[in-house]
Amino acid sequence: MNSSLHQSQNDRGAEVVTKGGTTHPSESNRSGRGSFGVSWNRIRHLMRKEFRTVKRNRQNFGVLLVAPVLQLIIFGFASRMDVNNVPMVVVDQSRSVLSRQVTDAFSRSGYFTIVAYLNRYDDVDVYLQKGQASMALLIPPDFERRIQGLQTADVGVLIDGVDTTTAGTAAGYVQSILGRFTLDITTSRVDKMQGLLYQSSTPRLIVPGFSIQSRAWFNPNLTSKDFFVPGVVVIIMLALSVMVTSTVIVREKEMGTIEQLMVTPITRLELIAGKALPCFIVELVSLSVILPLAFLIFDVPFRGPWPFFLMTFLIFLVAASGIGITISAFCGTQQQAMLSSFMFLQPAVLLSGYAFPIENMPVFIQYFTYLNPVRHIITIVRGVFLKGTGWEVLWPSVVALTVMAIFFVVLASLLFKRRVD
């Protein structure tokens, strides 16, 4: 009798039976819940819940998979800084052989497209103001006469300076074309002079000269898509990581189920891991989709080691997820989380060197960009894609990115604990 009672008490100490027949571990057994196997079991159940939520809402499929593909295609083709077919107008008041040669040099270059031939200088303003032309070539009436008279001939060039990038590149093309035209005339005159001297009794004139042959390393054709598309992949994954992770925990707060999760035998770190890991898996799936498409559609070169690239990109995704969870700790609704995410994404992209060189920024802004994880992953991705570099060159960016990933994950855990308490 006593032994039966003693056994019954031990059974009660081992587990508590509810009315529904469900058993829960007692406090004595809960002390062992910190083991990895039990902890992973709780995280796995939370992950299963999140995947069911994603599967239940069909719109999530379009947001998480289809939208990144469309963004890659649109941004990949739109992010170009190549200056081709710049519309220009010509005012040729000389109407001579040399003036036509200058005009033909511009039209044959491939950089400019002549949209109109005008008679007066004043007509140029209308085309520039309406945006019908971005440049005007002004050839004076005495152009050929001054050249034949061994005098300097002035040629006017007006460039629309609203778009500074196009204006600067177009100005460089203009100088190159006019410089080549001047060199051809000089060479022709020197050859003619050499011929006259060669027929005379005096020695032949020898004019020293040199030729410039330049070559761009890592991007020989200077195509902007090879420069921008790797950055587009980073920007898409950044936006996806931050926006998705910033809403998963806020959704529980908004629905009022966060308190129910917290009273369950689960730690806050397990809750964060169970919420963040499904997002991390979705991010990896999106990366495995858009990265091959970037190679297939845009023919972007990849010269670096694959293991190094994947390792550093995983670290970046961890840092971005930590930033998203940090944002969720301050927000009470999904709308606040989305707006906060946009407030982070805009400066992060602008200060990353994706489109604007960091070297051209003020000095204090340049130092501030070192705190931006997007700057470091942009440096790593472009170095791996275009230069073929690895750890031996990019280790400072990898170390900085790793420190930021650890910092944001720890910060997210501490802030989440404080907000819940």
Contacts of 112 (CB under 8 A, 6+ apart): 85, 86, 87, 88, 106, 135, 170, 173
- Tens of pLDDT, residues 178-211: 888 887 777 776 666 655 544 555 555 555 555 5
Average pLDDT over residues 405-409: 92
Tokens found for residue 413: 């855990």
Instruction: Place 246 in a pLDDT band, splitting at 50, 70 and 90.
Output: confident
pLDDT value, residue 208: 55
| List of residues 6+ apart from 328 with CB closer than 8 A | 245, 246, 247, 248, 249, 250, 337, 412, 416
Report d(CA 81, CA 166) in Å as an integer: 8
pLDDT of residue 334: 83
CB-CB neighbours of 355 under 10 Å: 14
How far are the Cα atoms of 57, 62, 75, 79 from residue 289, in angstroms, in the given order?
Answer: 21, 13, 16, 20
Q: What is the pLDDT of residue 410?
A: 87
Q: Please state the rounded mean pLDDT for residues 391-410.
A: 94
Does residue 291 have a pLDDT over 50?
Answer: yes
Q: In the numeric block, which tokens belong to residue 265?
A: 């035998």
> Long-range contacts of range 263-269, CB-CB < 8 Å, 24 or more positions apart?
265/24, 265/25, 265/30, 265/33, 265/42, 266/42, 266/46, 267/39, 268/413, 268/416, 268/417, 268/420, 269/413
Rounded to the nearest integer, the mean pLDDT of the chain is 80
Distance CA 110, CA 300 (A): 24
**How large a percentage of the chain has pLDDT more than 70?**
79
User: Strand pairing partners for 86?
Assistant: 112
Half-sphere exposure for 169 (CA within 13 Å, toward CB): 13
Cα gap 273→84, rounded to integer Å: 50
- What's the CA gap between 265 and 123, in Å, rounded? 79
With b for 16 or more beta-carbon neighbours within 10 A and e for fewer, the 260-281 pattern comes to ebeeeebbeebbbbbbbbbbbe
pLDDT at residue 351 greater than cutoff 70: yes
What percent of the chain is modeled with pLDDT above 90?
Answer: 30
- Longest Cα separation, the chain: 140
- Using the predicted structure, report yes or no on whether residue 20 has a pLDDT greater than 60: no
Between these two residues, 22 and 114, which has the higher pLDDT value?
114
Q: Which residue has the higher pLDDT, 259 or 235?
A: 235
Per-residue pLDDT tens for 32-76?
Answer: 444 767 778 888 877 887 777 766 666 666 677 788 889 899 998
* Annotated domain spans of the chain: 38-78+223-420, 86-199
pLDDT of residue 62: 65
Backbone angles phi, psi at 204, to 5 degrees: -70, 135
Q: Residue 34, SS3? A: coil
**pLDDT digits 0-9 by tens, 82-117:** 778 899 999 998 888 888 988 998 988 888 999 999
DSSP assignment of 167-219, as one string? Answer: HHHHHHHHHHHHHHHHHHHHHHHHHHHHHHHHHSSSPPP-----------SS-
Give the model's pLDDT for residue 191: 65
Most confident of 51-60, 271-280, 349-358: 349-358
pLDDT at 26 over 70: no
Phi-psi region at 219: left, alpha or beta (left = phi > 0; alpha = psi -120 to 50): beta
Confidence tier at 413 by pLDDT (50, 70, 90): confident
Neighbours of 409 (CB within 10 A): 21
Predicted pLDDT of residue 149: 77
- Which numeric CATH code is attached to 86-199? 3.40.1710.10
pLDDT of residue 289: 92
- What separation, in Å, do the N-terminal and C-terminal C-alpha atoms of the chain show? 48
List Cβ neighbours of 137 (8 Å cut-off, separation of 6 or more): 88, 89, 90, 91, 102, 103, 106, 155, 156, 157
User: Among 116-130, 189-203, 279-293, 348-362, which stretch is predicted with the lowest mean pLDDT?
Assistant: 189-203
Q: pLDDT band at residue 1, thresholds of 50, 70 and 90?
A: very low
- Tell me what pLDDT residue 421 has: 52
Name the pLDDT band for 349 (thresholds 50, 70, 90).
very high
CA distance linking residue 65 with residue 45, whole number of Å:
24
Q: Is the pLDDT of residue 157 over 80?
A: yes
Element (H, E) at 117: strand 112-118
Give the pLDDT confidence score for residue 251 in this predicted structure: 78
pLDDT > 80? residue 15: no
Whether residue 405 is predicted with pLDDT greater than 90 in this model: the reply is yes
Give residue 165's pLDDT band: very low, low, confident or very high (50, 70, 90): confident
pLDDT, residue 201, reads 53
- Nearest 10 degrees: Cα torsion 46, 50, 55, 57: 140
Residues sharing a CB contact under 8 Å with residue 155, sequence separation 6 or more, in sequence order: 102, 137, 138, 139, 140, 143, 178
Which is nearest to 155 in space by CA: 131, 126, 169, 135? 135
